């Protein structure tokens, strides 16, 4: 079987991590099986859909590296095809016009509720052998209803939830076209999944209720239903269903907050799927391991600390050149001119082991691009006691003639400390202060290398003399 999967978002606003997971899994399943992955934009809700939302989806997927084999395919561009299938179904007696007005439907529902029955369409306009239909009322455009099978049940073996059986008595004759002829949501999904030869539908379990309806229509059209895998919800860190309303962040927000796409992908992969106890893995490993059998059955809970931890792992292990490229936009936002001052790659390499986000790297980098500090006399006296000056002078002299490397600078420090019988902080703190007017910096020997010998000598000499 040639595997074909799809991600079928409705572009109605905002795509959060939970939504993107519904793209990641079908993508990984297609890639694992050398199949095809299709993006289908379900934009038939004209009022709520927007091109901006589509752009955010496409951008987010591209950022994570979820590449497409087909699409984006827009449902709004397939309306003629849906109308064609509706016509075929009417001709074949698989669907029928229903002239029940909104008022009549409401009345029916009220009666059923009063009798403690489940509200459902009563089949008034459903043609049956030997049945006489009511006279067609004037001036009413009908909806088109699907002739759902009567009796029996729909059973499918859900790849996540196991066998599910829904009695056909539970299912109404679904409206597949509105009075103005526009097709309805569940119907479009069926036509698309059939036309696009989708073999595996991997989607959120908020669609479980739609599945038996979709399977019935699919079978009526002579199609073979795909395999369904309904993913449990993603909960936010407070244990509620993740949504914009309770503070979910969009993919763009994570990008702006200095997360790496690799970390997000790794995080999302584990949000409802596992491979033994593997926590940190590459995209290639993920694709190699991905299967439906290891999808979680209970809701996954978003854990921001874990995401931050993963981001740190990826930053720490990143190639400094690439990491520097990724960090540049953040640095520029902070007003750092990365082309003017120490080598930015070296700065990033120095800071990456302690940073959780690209923003933290950029913040740390500021130190190296600010103009040399101008110390006030009083602070200078306080932070660089005169007793330490002879040691500082020796340090300056030694650095002047030294090969600028971390190892050499470390050795120089050791030698000066021994010579003056000092402990490291007694010397390192004044040096930091002299260089940056702060005592908070990464390891001093590395800092000297990164800041550059000329600048170090200039700043130290100025502070000591």
Q: Rule CB under 6 A: say whether 56 interacts with ligand GLU.
A: no
Residue with tokens 């902080």: 425
Residue with tokens 């009322």: 137
- Binding window for ligand GLU (CB under 6 A); candidates: 2-10, 292-300, 307-315, 393-401: 2-10
Q: Please measure the distance between the N-terminal and C-terminal CA atoms of the chain and give it in whole angstroms.
A: 79
Q: How far is the CB of 41 from ligand GLU (least distance, A)?
A: 9
- 279 SS3 class: coil
- 228 SS3 class: strand
Q: How far is the CB of 133 from ligand GLU (least distance, A)?
A: 33
Residue with tokens 């540049």: 328
Q: 102: which 2 tokens?
A: 């909104």
- Binding window for ligand GLU (CB under 6 A); candidates: 6-14, 48-56, 100-108, 448-456: 6-14
Is the separation of the CB atoms in 352 and 320 below 8 Å? yes
The torsion defined by the Cα of 313, 319, 324 and 327, in degrees rounded to 10, comes to: -30
CB closer to ligand GLU out of 42 and 173: 42
Alpha carbon separation from 180 to 126, 175, 184, 214, 440 (Å, rounded): 20, 12, 11, 22, 69
Q: Rule CB under 6 A: say whether 58 interacts with ligand GLU.
A: no
Q: Which residues pair with 74 in a beta bridge?
A: 41
CA-wise closest residue to 441 among 380, 324, 363, 379: 363
- 278 SS3 class: coil
Q: 377: which 2 tokens?
A: 């006399």
Q: How far is the CB of 361 from ligand GLU (least distance, A)?
A: 35
Residue spans of beta strands (DSSP E) within 128-223: 143-146, 153-158, 162-167, 175-177, 200-204
Selected from 9, 60, 225, 261, the binder of ligand GLU by CB under 6 A is: 9
CB closer to ligand GLU out of 179 and 299: 299
Is the separation of the CB atoms in 177 and 184 below 8 Å? yes
Q: Rule CB under 6 A: say whether 448 interacts with ligand GLU.
A: no
- DSSP per-residue codes, 167-186: EGGG----EEE-TTSPBPHH
CB closer to ligand GLU out of 112 and 233: 233
Q: Rule CB under 6 A: say whether 15 interacts with ligand GLU.
A: no
Query: Taking CB under 6 A as the rule, which mask of x and - marks residues 166-185 in contact with ligand GLU?
Result: --------------------
Q: How far is the CB of 299 from ligand GLU (least distance, A)?
A: 16
Total interface residues for ligand GLU by CB under 6 A = 7
Is the separation of the CB atoms in 204 and 17 below 8 Å? no
The whole-angstrom distance between residue 341's C-alpha and the CA centroid of its chain comes to 35
Q: Rule CB under 6 A: say whether 241 interacts with ligand GLU.
A: no
Largest CA distance in the chain: 112
CB closer to ligand GLU out of 126 and 207: 207
CB closer to ligand GLU out of 230 and 302: 230
Q: How far is the CB of 104 from ligand GLU (least distance, A)?
A: 30
Beta carbons within 10 angstroms of residue 410's beta carbon: 15
CA dist 96 and 94 (Å) reads 7
- Binding window for ligand GLU (CB under 6 A); candidates: 4-12, 107-115, 252-260, 296-304: 4-12
CB closer to ligand GLU out of 211 and 255: 211
* DSSP assignment letter at 10: -
- Binding window for ligand GLU (CB under 6 A); candidates: 3-11, 227-235, 341-349, 444-452: 3-11
Q: How far is the CB of 238 from ligand GLU (least distance, A)?
A: 22
Q: Rule CB under 6 A: say whether 20 interacts with ligand GLU.
A: no
CA dist 425 and 3 (Å) reads 63
Residues 188-217 interacting with ligand GLU (rule: CB under 6 A): 189, 203, 207
CB closer to ligand GLU out of 58 and 384: 58
Q: Rule CB under 6 A: say whether 432 interacts with ligand GLU.
A: no
CB closer to ligand GLU out of 190 and 392: 190
- Binding window for ligand GLU (CB under 6 A); candidates: 7-15, 45-53, 116-124, 349-357: 7-15
- 28 SS3 class: helix
Classify burial at 200, counting beta carbons within 10 Å of its beta carbon; exposed 0-12, middle 13-18, buried 19 or more: buried
Selected from 8, 174, 345, 416, the binder of ligand GLU by CB under 6 A is: 8
Q: Rule CB under 6 A: say whether 11 interacts with ligand GLU.
A: no
CA dist 235 and 303 (Å) reads 9
Q: Rule CB under 6 A: say whether 430 interacts with ligand GLU.
A: no
Q: How far is the CB of 8 from ligand GLU (least distance, A)?
A: 4
Q: How far is the CB of 208 from ligand GLU (least distance, A)?
A: 11
Selected from 10, 285, 301, 313, the binder of ligand GLU by CB under 6 A is: 10
Q: Rule CB under 6 A: say whether 42 interacts with ligand GLU.
A: yes
Give the binding site for ligand GLU (CB under 6 A). 8-10, 42, 189, 203, 207
């Amino acid at each position: 079987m040639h595997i074909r999967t799809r991600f079928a978002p409705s572009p109605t606003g905002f795509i959060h991590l939970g939504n993107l997971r519904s793209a990641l899994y079908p993508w990984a399943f297609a890639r694992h099986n050398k199949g095809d992955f299709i993006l289908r934009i379900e934009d038939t809700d004209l009022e709520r859909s927007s091109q901006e939302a589509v752009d955010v989806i496409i951008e987010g997927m591209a950022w994570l590296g979820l590449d497409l084999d087909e699409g984006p395919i827009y449902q709004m561009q397939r309306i003629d095809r849906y109308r064609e299938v509706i016509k075929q179904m009417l001709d074949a007696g698989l669907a029928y016009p229903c002239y029940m007005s909104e008022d009549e439907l409401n009345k029916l529902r009220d009666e059923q509720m009063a009798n403690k029955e489940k509200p459902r369409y009563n089949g008034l306009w459903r043609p049956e052998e030997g049945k006489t239909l009511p006279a067609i009322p004037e001036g009413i455009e009908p909806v088109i209803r699907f002739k759902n099978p009567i009796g029996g049940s729909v059973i499918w073996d859900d790849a996540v939830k196991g066998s599910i059986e829904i009695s056909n008595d539970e299912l109404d004759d679904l409206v597949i076209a509105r009075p103005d002829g526009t097709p309805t949501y569940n119907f479009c999904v069926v036509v698309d999944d059939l036309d696009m030869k989708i073999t595996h539908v991997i989607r959120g379990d908020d669609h479980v209720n739609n599945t038996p309806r979709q399977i019935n229509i699919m079978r009526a059209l002579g199609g073979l239903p795909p395999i369904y895998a309904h993913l449990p919800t993603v909960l936010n860190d407070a244990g509620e269903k993740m949504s914009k309303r309770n503070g979910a962040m969009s993919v763009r927000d994570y990008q702006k907050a200095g997360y790496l796409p690799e970390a997000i992908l790794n995080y999302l992969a584990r949000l409802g799927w596992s491979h033994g106890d593997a926590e940190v893995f590459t995209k290639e490993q993920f694709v190699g391991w991905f299967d439906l059998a290891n999808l979680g059955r209970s809701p996954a809970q978003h854990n921001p600390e874990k995401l931050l931890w993963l981001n740190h792992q990826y930053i720490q292990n990143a190639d400094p050149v690439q990491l520097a490229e990724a960090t540049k936009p953040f640095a520029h936002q902070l007003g750092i001119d990365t082309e003017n001052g120490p080598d930015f790659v070296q700065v990033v390499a120095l800071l990456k082991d302690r940073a959780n986000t690209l923003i933290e790297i950029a913040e740390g980098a500021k130190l190296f691009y600010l103009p040399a500090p101008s110390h006030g006399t009083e602070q200078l006296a306080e932070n660089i006691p005169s007793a330490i000056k002879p040691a500082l002078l020796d340090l300056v002299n030694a650095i002047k003639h030294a090969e600028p490397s971390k190892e050499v600078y470390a050795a120089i420090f050791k030698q000066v400390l021994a010579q003056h019988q000092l402990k490291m902080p007694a010397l390192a703190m004044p040096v930091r202060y002299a260089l940056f007017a702060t005592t908070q910096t990464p390891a001093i020997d590395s800092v000297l290398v990164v800041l550059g010998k000329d600048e170090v000598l200039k700043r130290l000499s100025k502070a000591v003399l």
